[in-house]
Structure 1
């Protein structure tokens, strides 16, 4: 007993000595208390910031603590602080992982104890071994787990108006490398913590400049003043968290690089929107291909975090009632899709560092008031809260510390779970159907088949290619691999339950074969000799061929995505070349070319070969020449893409798509419409989807707060890109709308996508379109069937009679029966009631003979919903999906869906490309 007593006494004295060896920064802690508006918002875990003699705290470095009123830091300041920490502390390092579209670096910070930092490559290697159970047996896994450390990844600054996480993470990093508190030491010793300090640096700098330029002086949160800069990234606004399937933007590439280098067991994305702290689990329905182990981890970790905050007396933490857990394209879903655990927080942010009175009385989540006491919210907030930036920091940091603590104490279980999820995936691939997917070599757009292969490989899904035998050239995805569930998720139809109680959080269908226009076959057995398969180890590229003989070149058109950029290239190389579009079928030797195919006159063999090699197009040589009256010559248009200043989300995706495809355009805004003279400058004006109605389009951002320049200055250097304006308030006004109408009357083409069709209909640019409200229709983003109504329309060249498109909850329009020839494409395959021919008796006429119509192939109609879910679909079937409305000498082509949605539905995009190719032949 005496020995135990003295050992305990000595240990207590030693611990006390360690504690006393660290001086608490009383001023820092006093400021935390000062800037926290209520003691209930002040958790004990964020106090105790130490005064380190060699490593400067944020207060020493910046002159203010994190969360100080009116203080927000740009990326250069943030990165400089981490670089200083890396110089001063052996526990932290920083390296660049990616570069944004505007040239800013994206960094990753690594934190761990001496052992972790000295053996980083070892621990990365251990995680890679656990990620693939094919190379690691269960016995080996046990040994690896015993010599591994869980990696925990924190992602900050994704959504630029959610400004707190890049601030908080600096204070957290300082705490993790300086504190000798027992809880912090345990985290440092048992975890490797990765921090992405600002995952969207372009938007961060724009938003910090916006805050200092405009919103820092505001005193009322609900005064309707724009809290956000009009642009975040060069292309993508809030959808930067919807890029996980495309992997198109720098932010996503950075997140993916971090994940696949480290295989973190948990990824926590830090967001701000709802009061006071939401910890993700979601209401469901959960994605069917997420391993149940991950779903269990969501629940236990969320409840552990809530319990930790409750133990510190903090109200307002909740789970369940926000988000669903269905769509796999969020940034941190790279974890859920690859056998790790992706989570997120939503804290209550003020879009800056101001303190506001916030009213929660109208906030409801999953039908319940935000202030009600529920099983998932045991300690609700009051209806009004006086909320500061420091409050937000406190909640975010306390939650993160709780989550890191859980991971540090349960690391062995998390490592086992990670390995087991890979085992489960491989086992499913062996025992359940399908066993494989085949992407046949024969495709209507072979270049898109290669693109699909590359997108699968970007997700680390293994793809093989048949290199021998009769199926040589086919691609095969064998499903006995660690990411089998993701492959199934991406390549099969989604079945969102119609009876789901709450509306989905985002799109509910993403079947890549449909979205890319690529045939993908499910196989319940392996169709190839495995010896004939070779792993695809580099990007797939489709190289076209030239067949036939003769002096003329033809292209059989099947709505290939690369045709329009190929035409622009050809005309830039050879201004004398003539490009003819055939308006009827044409026989060239053994080939019958469909309407819409191309005849090239005056191009060289070298140019033809370039089209095959660089654009993946198959050309045909022949001696025949089509009659001139059966073709029209392509005059490639001068295209403008219009953007509003109040909503730039989708025009950014349109610009990105045009640039990726190599289609030249000019970006224009309200000032260009007001200036007029549009027809002299442009042939086509594309108006991408933008929220709002005709009034919003006319009047734009309210002039109540104007003028508001978005221009680059010495004080605000990040503004003015990708577009600038001396005043973003106001819209084109009635004069601008009149100029737009003159543009089309003088022979121009306006293309409106989805919600922007409101603009032409409600402002009177077109008079034929009438808004249609489909009773009870609920149409979240799904893949559905459409049918061609006007078979000779150039907009529909290359498409079969029925095909799938992607559509969300957009507006619907209709035209009178007498104008039904303006309706090019319809939803579903059945006609509207007023289009069904009357077959009954007619007084004064002899009885009619009724012809029995042939049934569709197989005796069944093509289902309307291909992937996803639509409620009351009968109310949309037969309605128009594309309208071609003549206005003066020109046309308005009005879409009621978005064929350029998030750079995802590539199969739909050629409907726009067709319009551009044939812009002056749409009458």
Structure 2
């Protein structure tokens, strides 16, 4: 009887397993093709359906909706592990959070949690949607993990919790539909996608992760930095360097000095596991270190922001796609070296090969995590604990400028003792015993009390644009930083602060990220060889977000405390605004807060009159130049009450009308340039316009060439790379990757977007628009329009050749990649209303001007921003910055009846440069005519 019972149980188990296997659809069964088949891609609609089928059929999967995309789709994360682990997800998530935050844990407690927990591994795909390997490998990886029963897979499922996350659903739908539109497979192409594959910002969706403006970024960021905090995250990208199959970890120098060394060596360890597996499987072509351009300096990318949170962030950039291609012959790539130990030979390359490589790489990471699970969990705790300890005591960070200061002090010391040398040892970089620089130079420079790292930062609640400061605080909260808020007034280091101020202490696990958001980056002087050309950073060299957002804060070097409450992790903040005073005559709204422009646009849209005060207001109510005045009315009260509360604005009601002159504000008909394929800088501004409620229309070169612009628009905005240089053309990396689109092969609906701004057709139309009273705003390289219009300005960054001709300064003398610089402003000008007299700008090899003598004599050009020092660098890298002194960074010039604005710096850069948004916003209102001033002074 017992035998038959056991037999029955076995038969039931077999039949259940068989039924389950039948219900698990393979990719071939669902999509109609195998993942990696040439000329085949899946849409996101098909992929989403597959995710749901797999989740319903497998006990190894939990499907999680992590939020909406910018186009309204749902973004999914599949949690894959053993059925037993999935039943205890809350516990494993709790362990991961506790170890990552390292709060109030002893090493013994951390080791116990590490032994109990599971390794949390993030693998994503599809962020850059034209990089189709990433999306398709995600599908294949899910299938392999839910269907395979080999010992390695079972060990992975037992020891790991895998977060498989689709990074860009909208992009997959757009790109696949574009590729698959051609019925003949051999004619399919990813080239010439007509629009950005993320609604607003395309490729820049991988530059949004320390501010998190986009919905997809917010969804991903919450899982990474607040919910799960994985020990490993793996970000799939394309494409590998020519002559290799892929680039991967470890990466080239420099790495950011705030990192914990365990994070850096953790990348080394995972990189070794990845390349070893490929080599063992006879899959050549992995390059690393100096074999590629990728570094770990930058913050803001999906992979790189994790580095500042003690996660081992991995990036691979692989070749391949649905259309077969060639691995080209690059002779220098064929010799094995430390960067490329196993070169790949030139050959025809198929999509399936890239998928197979990606699957091997995923399994190498997951297998490493399974085998070293407890070590990974303990190490993220150790890194967090190190950060807490460094933030709890006096600590001096190392950086190039500190090292240079030591060398300079030694060089200039007349009493220095020259250490003994030995030529034989010197050739090996060695020094005799007892040699080396005396320690006093280290002690006086590196241990100077004023050079200590801060114990914390205080963001006062009484700053002019507190609402934007709260946006900065929310950016920190989205990245998992612990924030405290004052519940009462308090004093630190002799300075008083109001209740509501925010406090960010550095004695917490994510200290590297905190320092990176508040403190300047100090990029090394990186050249190919001494005296040679500079080595370009992979992205920006400096980006200090507190600077770019013009947040007022204080660095506190000693330990401090006060009436502070800790805010729950991930809980976003809303600033409190108020309507103060008695609005008998109306309301005054400062122009300093960015959110004031939302309130004004809402008022104008409701037909309510708004004025600007060009001279401000004195007396008891001191208001800056350009503040807004709104006459009292019931409707105005209703809207301003709502705006004050919802936007965190302090609106002042006044009993008497201002006696100063006023200018009526009128909305303008705004046009924003874009082009076929989509401009990321234009997309960012389009998003900004929507956020700040500026109505606008996107126009294309053909719209400009058609003429009659003044009948349609009042202002046209040109972002960088719209206007070509005089006598030349601008090309960027993205336009150089494919041939320009052809009219005959472009669908009719996209043909109106085609074309470029040209000197013969477009520039004359813009000149006519200006002369007829229009306004043109140019940013970055589009300030080239000043030269097309023959305005009396010149390039300030040139030198004379022996033949007496001007040429741009070479990189050996002057080089400033993306960095933060300080400029002076004339804040009395309409263009700069609401701005301080000095501000930080994002500068990326940006134009700088010199006024011609006739411009100064005739006053035909009005400088708006300029450099008044030979050391304007605030954060990043500025080689030869002395050349900037006295250069003009922005100006206004009348052209006929219109106005031309040139802003060399990127004043709206990636929606991060919020401290300079007003330089655009101010130009989007009509200056109108001066209104009749009131007859009585303001007393409120």
TM-score, normalization by structure 1: 0.82
Q: State which of 612, 618, 628 in structure 2 corresponds to 1:598.
A: 628
Q: What is the number of equivalent residue pairs in this alignment? A: 810
Q: Output aligned runs, 1:154-173, within 5 Å.
A: 154-173=123-142
Residue 13 of structure 1: aligned partner: none
CA-CA distance at 1:150 after TM superposition: 0.4
Residue 552 of structure 2: aligned partner: 519
Q: Output aligned runs, 1:854-869, within 5 Å.
A: 863-869=871-877
- 1:381 maps onto 2:344 in alignment: yes
- 1:345 maps onto 2:375 in alignment: no
- 1:284 maps onto 2:247 in alignment: no
Residue 657 of structure 1: aligned partner: 688
Contact 1:640 1:667 in 2 (8 A): yes
Contact 1:317 1:377 in 2 (8 A): yes
- 1:667 maps onto 2:629 in alignment: no
Residue 870 of structure 1: aligned partner: 878
CA-CA distance at 1:73 after TM superposition: 0.6
CA-CA distance at 1:301 after TM superposition: 1.0
SS in 2 for 1:257: helix
Residue 403 of structure 2: aligned partner: none
CA-CA distance at 1:737 after TM superposition: 4.0
User: 1:431-469 CA distances to partner (integer Å, 9 max, x unpaired)?
Assistant: 134111111122121211222222221122122222223
After superposition, the Cα gap between the structure-2 partners of 1:535 and 1:356, relative to the gap in structure 1 and judged at 3 Å, is closer
User: 1:579-636 CA distances to partner (integer Å, 9 max, x unpaired)?
Assistant: 1332x3532x4233333233333445545544433443334444554557x4322222
- 1:902 maps onto 2:915 in alignment: no
After superposition, the Cα gap between the structure-2 partners of 1:155 and 1:441, relative to the gap in structure 1 and judged at 3 Å, is same
Q: Output aligned runs, 1:744-823, within 5 Å.
A: 744-758=770-784, 760-761=785-786, 764-765=788-789, 767-771=791-795, 773-774=797-798, 775=809, 776-788=813-825, 792-820=828-856, 821=859, 822-823=861-862
After superposition, the Cα gap between the structure-2 partners of 1:786 and 1:918, relative to the gap in structure 1 and judged at 3 Å, is farther
- 1:829 maps onto 2:868 in alignment: yes
Aligned-partner Cα distance in 2 for 1:728–1:912: 24
Gap regions ≥5 residues in structure 1: 1-20, 22-50, 363-368, 712-723, 831-860
Contact 2:792 2:854 in 1 (8 A): no
Residue 299 of structure 1: aligned partner: 268
Residue 920 of structure 2: aligned partner: 912
Residue 560 of structure 1: aligned partner: 593
CA-CA distance at 1:72 after TM superposition: 0.6
Residue 400 of structure 2: aligned partner: none
Residue 505 of structure 2: aligned partner: 478
Residue 263 of structure 1: aligned partner: 229
After superposition, the Cα gap between the structure-2 partners of 1:461 and 1:702, relative to the gap in structure 1 and judged at 3 Å, is closer
Residue 693 of structure 1: aligned partner: 724
Aligned-partner Cα distance in 2 for 1:535–1:118: 30
Residue 206 of structure 1: aligned partner: 174
CA-CA distance at 1:207 after TM superposition: 0.8
Aligned-partner Cα distance in 1 for 2:591–2:559: 30
Aligned-partner Cα distance in 1 for 2:731–2:285: 41
Q: Output aligned runs, 1:33-44, within 5 Å.
A: none
User: 1:636-688 CA distances to partner (integer Å, 9 max, x unpaired)?
Assistant: 21211111114421111001111112222122223422443322222111112
- 1:336 maps onto 2:369 in alignment: no
Contact 1:689 1:755 in 2 (8 A): yes
Residue 836 of structure 1: aligned partner: none
Residue 612 of structure 1: aligned partner: 644
After superposition, the Cα gap between the structure-2 partners of 1:79 and 1:626, relative to the gap in structure 1 and judged at 3 Å, is closer
User: 1:554-597 CA distances to partner (integer Å, 9 max, x unpaired)?
Assistant: 6374532122222222223343x241332x3532x423333323
- 1:510 maps onto 2:560 in alignment: no
After superposition, the Cα gap between the structure-2 partners of 1:680 and 1:291, relative to the gap in structure 1 and judged at 3 Å, is same
SS in 2 for 1:885: strand
Give the RMSD, CA atoms, in angstroms.
3.0
Residue 423 of structure 1: aligned partner: 385
Contact 2:192 2:677 in 1 (8 A): no
Aligned-partner Cα distance in 2 for 1:87–1:728: 43
Contact 1:698 1:732 in 2 (8 A): no
Q: Output aligned runs, 1:626-637, within 5 Å.
A: 626=658, 630-637=661-668
After superposition, the Cα gap between the structure-2 partners of 1:549 and 1:736, relative to the gap in structure 1 and judged at 3 Å, is same
Contact 1:647 1:690 in 2 (8 A): no
Q: Which moved more, 1:768-777 or 1:245-254?
A: 768-777
User: 1:377-435 CA distances to partner (integer Å, 9 max, x unpaired)?
Assistant: 112234x4322211211222222222222111111211111111121121112113411
After superposition, the Cα gap between the structure-2 partners of 1:512 and 1:62, relative to the gap in structure 1 and judged at 3 Å, is closer
Aligned-partner Cα distance in 1 for 2:460–2:731: 49
Q: Which moved more, 1:458-467 or 1:232-241?
A: 458-467
Contact 2:457 2:556 in 1 (8 A): yes
Q: State which of 16, 26, 35 in structure 2 corresponds to 1:66.
A: 35
TM-score, normalization by structure 2: 0.81
Residue 705 of structure 1: aligned partner: 742
Aligned-partner Cα distance in 1 for 2:175–2:513: 35
SS in 1 for 2:145: helix
Contact 1:454 1:539 in 2 (8 A): yes
CA-CA distance at 1:157 after TM superposition: 0.5
